[in-house]
Structure 1
Amino acid sequence: MTVRVTLIAPSTNEALREVRFDDQSPLDPAGFTRAEAVADTLAPGVHVYSSPSPRCHETAQALGLDAETLTDLAGCDMGRWRGRTLDAVAALEGEAVALWLSDPTAAPHGGESVRELRVRVGAWLDGLWSQAGRILAVVEPDVIRAAVLHALGAPDEAFWRLDVRPLTATELSGRAQRWNALCGRPLGPQTTETPSVPR
């Protein structure tokens, strides 16, 4: 059985524009409008999920999706850095930021490390092998990065080398415990296609 998972990055909000560690802020009006504009272009999903954050939940709503919220798909817990801009944190804790960006096991903010995020998201992804039907999930960009690393068996250090843009789809398809990835397609009619799986 082939498993097909489409991971959708949320639309824009104030935290994204300000390069601020997400503070649970909602979509901005323009972000909601952008998501509504591509709502009719998604192939239907049998199972539909969302990260718990307001921007993911509201993106799912704007896309016309009735998504189940999963804590396993929450964005990385940024501890005391939540709600602060990267520049502000770097000005006060430059060494801690450098460590966080270079060591996937580090969590100087007191929250979750990149490695811990990858393990959590990877466990969710591995649990999908028994599910039939297309799976859609509106999730935070860091969740998408973690899922791609896990699916491809890439090193944790590659986490920061993956760009995830708003309202793009990353498609994972696989069978026999092997995944293929199609990354970063803008939402639109072309996202109804899925990558072929070697037989």
Structure 2
Amino acid sequence: MALRATFVAAAGSSSVLAERFEGDRPLDRAGWSEVQRVAHELLPLAAADLRSCSPAPRSRATGEGPGYAPLVQPALRDCDMDRWRGLPPGEAMAREPGAVDAWLAGPRSTPYGGEPLPAFIGRVGGRLDTRRVEDGCGVVAVAGPSVIRAALVYVPRAPPATYWNIDVRSLSAIGVAGRAGGPLSLRIEGASAQAARA
């Protein structure tokens, strides 16, 4: 049984204030313009058998732009940051510098009281594993950069700390392919979408 999945990173925002842990802000005007500018490049992915997105408003709006009509999948939500939820990273650092340092240094650390990084990676990866049961099924999933980073760590079974070394740009597309019981492989797509933003 085969899997062909493509993750599309949700559009960004023009506002630095929009970057928050588990940010739940909708797509702003600049982000929507970004989606419209590259929608023609993302449109072919609308032919996927299954189209899903994370529950975050930016992910849902990004998926609607090229006409995916995605179904919300709770497994694609961001990492549960509990008491840091809604805070900009800089504010968390100002309030609790030692806790943020501990979190960055130890992937299993949860000074915020939420989901450990390995559990988050496993949750996202588990979604990939369950998709393998549908032979040859094409899947597109729109999610935030953190979710896609988790998938990129899961696929090659990289150490959780690798998560911090991956940069996922908005509206980039990363494909995952493989067969049941076998390893998954990655492919980078949508380079022209990124060029359109530059």
Identity, % of aligned pairs? 34
- 1:194 is matched with which residue? none
1:16 deviates by 5.6
TM-score, length-scaled by structure 2: 0.88
Aligned-residue Cα RMSD (Å) equals: 2.1
Aligned position for 2:161: 157
Where does residue 120 of structure 1 map in the other structure? 123
2:124 is matched by which residue type in structure 1? V
Does residue 61 of structure 1 match 2:64? Answer: yes
Deviates more, 1:60-69 or 1:48-57: 60-69
Shift of the alpha carbon at 1:88?
A: 1.3
* Matched residue, 2:28: 28
Q: Give distance in 1, aligned partners of 2:110 and 2:15.
A: 21
Aligned to 2:152: 148
Among 167, 170, 174, which residue is 1:170 paired with? 174
Counterpart for residue 112 of structure 2:
109
Whole-angstrom distance in 2 between the partners of 1:4 and 1:182 = 10
1:136 partner letter: V
**For 1:99 and 1:115, how far apart are their aligned partners in 2?**
15
**1:18 deviation in Å?**
5.2
Equivalent pairs counted in the alignment come to 190
The verdict on how the C-alpha distance between 1:92 and 1:141 changes in structure 2, with shifts beyond 3 A counting, is: same
Alpha-carbon distance between aligned partners in 1 of 2:126 and 2:28, rounded to the nearest angstrom:
32
- Which sections of structure 1, spanning at least 5 residues, go unmatched? 189-199
For 1:126 and 1:148, the matched residues in 2 are separated by 14
Measure how far apart 1:185 and its partner are: 3.8
2:22–2:80 Cα contact (<8 Å) kept: no
The DSSP-based 3-state class of the residue aligned with 2:131 is coil
TM-superposed CA distance for 1:140, in Å, is 1.4
Distance in 1 of aligned mates of 2:12 and 2:187: 22
Q: Does structure 2 retain, via aligned residues, the 8 Å contact 1:15–1:21?
A: no
Q: 1:87 to 1:93 in 2, by over 3 A?
A: same
**Structure 1 counterpart SS, 2:4:** strand
Consecutive aligned runs of 4 or more in structure 1 exceeding 3 Å deviation = 14-19, 183-188
- So what's the TM-score if we normalise by structure 1? 0.87
Distance in 1 (CA, whole Å) between partners of 2:192 and 2:56 is 20
Is the 2:177–2:185 Cα contact (8 Å) retained in structure 1? yes
Preserved CA contact (<8 Å) 1:167 1:186: no
Q: Hey, what does 2:2 align to over in structure 1?
A: 2
In structure 2, C-alpha distance between the alignment counterparts of 1:122 and 1:55, rounded to whole Å? 21
Cα deviation, residue 34, structure 1: 1.1
